[in-house]
Amino acid sequence: MKNYVFGAVSAVALMSANVVVAEPKAEVLHWWTSGGEARSVAVLQQEFADNGGTWTDMPVAGGGGDAAMSALRARVLAGNAPTAVQLKGPAIQEWYEEGVLADISAVAEAEGWADVLPASIAGHMQCEGSWCAAPVNVHRVDWIWANADVLEANGIAMPTTWDEFNAAAEKLQGAGIIPLAHGGQAWQDATVFEAVALGILGADGFRKAFVELDEATLTSDAMKSVFDQMRTLRGFVDPNFPGRDWNLATAMVMNGEAAFQIMGDWAKGEFLAAGKAPGEDFLCASVPGEGFLYNVDSFAMFDVDGEDNQAGQALLAKLIVGQSFQKVFNLNKGSIPARVDVALDEFDSCAHLSAEDMAASSEGGSLLPSYAHGMALRGAQSGAITDVVTSHFNSDMSSDEAVQQLATAIANSL
Ligand code: BGC
């Protein structure tokens, strides 16, 4: 673990009579490569440059970040970790336990992070009491997106129950429209699955299943209903779904080829990047049921040599949690700020709904970490669940068989 002092000194290359402060540098590994994502990360690159930093970009394409995480492991094993890495949830603690993360507590304390971040978010950013990651945003996962014109032309309102969703989908199918835009990649199957699970299991059931890994809940009749609904949804996707990237699925909703997409609000970043307006061109609604599945993007700094790299890490950490970055970045990204003191007046109706629902679920005990986006479980357990979800979705496996496989996979992963 490396400790560096940053404090109130700006990381811009400062030169005084006898002190030369290193010029901040950072090689940044991330998976923000879609249109909306690239626009968002450009905000950070610009702020870093404006503050004297030199950014080396290491984008690794692949929604959900699986490919980026493989690239990270290879770099760390080769003894050549990037300076800053998009990393989140329990994976932060897993890397901390490997002894390869830098301690950014000096920045966190100088910037008063503890006063501006909700405890639920701050907890993910701390490792044994020190700060080991900087949060960027709060993405909500449990959303349904829709093409407004397609729904209107077919006399369909945004569904509020899964039965309504299924009825609307059948009607759309009859009219020759693809009901559900989906990309058959394991993480996208998992994203849809957890949104369905939240609606059907309820917040307590979701927590028992995907946070506590309670076997009775994993094999319950309610969980069988979740797999039943997944089977129904499988009938609403087009034949070309395997392997499709999530942003191409969003584009299908945008251009009216498909009606709905079940995806986190990074999809909103795509709509916005294409100049589409919420409430006019596209609609957003939380999936049927209570609760809020959060997915907080964050950056961890890896233990690297060189004062310039360390100055880069300190500068990045400071900017990431800074008020101005949190506003502009999240306006582009589709998420809401992680900080509680960023005014939301420039944000759209979907962001307002997200912020209101997040506050209400936090109050009511239904604010839950996304398992599919690495917020709830360690990699071995979330991977075990996703393997079952995706093999069920891509075969004729029964729901009975799926819940049995789920219980076995979890038991073997512990
Ligand atoms: C990340 C988002 C990203 C999405 C698609 C999620 O896991 O949290 O920031 O846009 O994956 O790549």
Check if CATH label 3.40.190.10 holds for domain 140-294+362-413: yes
**Model-wide pTM > 0.85:** yes
> Residue 302 C-alpha to ligand 1 middle, in angstroms?
21
- The pocket around ligand 1, CB under 6 angstroms, is made up of 31, 37, 63-65, 139, 266, 295, 297, 373
pLDDT digits (tens, 9 = 90+) for 143-194: 999 999 999 999 999 999 999 999 999 999 999 999 999 999 999 999 999 9
The residue whose C-alpha atom lies closest to atom 8 belonging to ligand 1 is: 297
Confidence of residue 21 (pLDDT cuts 50, 70, 90): confident
User: Strand pairing partners for 145?
Assistant: 261, 284
Confidence of residue 22 (pLDDT cuts 50, 70, 90): confident
pLDDT digits (tens, 9 = 90+) for 242-255: 999 999 999 999 99
In the DSSP assignment, the letter for residue 342 is S
> Residue 174 C-alpha to ligand 1 middle, in angstroms?
33
Region 329-351 average pLDDT: 97
Average pLDDT score, the chain? 95
Confidence of residue 2 (pLDDT cuts 50, 70, 90): very low
Residue with tokens 């962001």: 351
Contact between residue 41 and residue 266 where contact means Cβ atoms under 8 Å apart: no
CATH fold of 2-139+296-349: D-Maltodextrin-Binding Protein; domain 2 (3.40.190)
- Domain regions of the chain by residue span: 2-139+296-349, 140-294+362-413
Strands 298-301 and 134-135 turn out to be: antiparallel
Residue 3 predicted with pLDDT over 70: no
pLDDT digits (tens, 9 = 90+) for 355-387: 999 999 999 999 999 999 999 999 999 999 999
Q: Which two tokens stand for residue 408?
A: 């076995």
Residue 228 predicted with pLDDT over 60: yes
**Ligand 1: nearest atom to the Cα of 335:** 9
Share of the chain above pLDDT 90, in %: 94
Residue 9 predicted with pLDDT over 60: no
Share of the chain above pLDDT 70, in %: 95
pLDDT digits (tens, 9 = 90+) for 190-217: 999 999 999 999 999 999 999 999 999 9
Comparing 13-17, 84-88, 191-195, the range with the smallest average pLDDT is 13-17
Residue 48 predicted with pLDDT over 60: yes
The residue whose C-alpha atom lies closest to atom 6 belonging to ligand 1 is: 64
Rounded distance, CA 35 to CA 8, Å?
35
In the DSSP assignment, the letter for residue 157 is P
Rounded distance, CA 270 to CA 256, Å?
15
Region 326-338 average pLDDT: 98
> Residue 119 C-alpha to ligand 1 middle, in angstroms?
22
Q: Which two tokens stand for residue 195?
A: 């949104």
| Integer-rounded Cα radius of gyration of the chain | 21
Measured torsion, CA atoms of residues 312, 315, 317, 320, in degrees rounded to the nearest 10:
-120
Q: Which pLDDT score is estimated for 18?
A: 53
User: Strand pairing partners for 285?
Assistant: 144
Residue 24 predicted with pLDDT over 70: yes
Q: Which pLDDT score is estimated for 8?
A: 41
The residue whose C-alpha atom lies closest to atom 1 belonging to ligand 1 is: 64
Amino acid at position 147, single letter: N
The residue whose C-alpha atom lies closest to atom 11 belonging to ligand 1 is: 64
Residue with tokens 């309820």: 202
Sign of torsion over alpha carbons 69, 73, 75, 79: positive
pLDDT digits (tens, 9 = 90+) for 259-295: 999 999 999 999 999 999 999 999 999 999 999 999 9
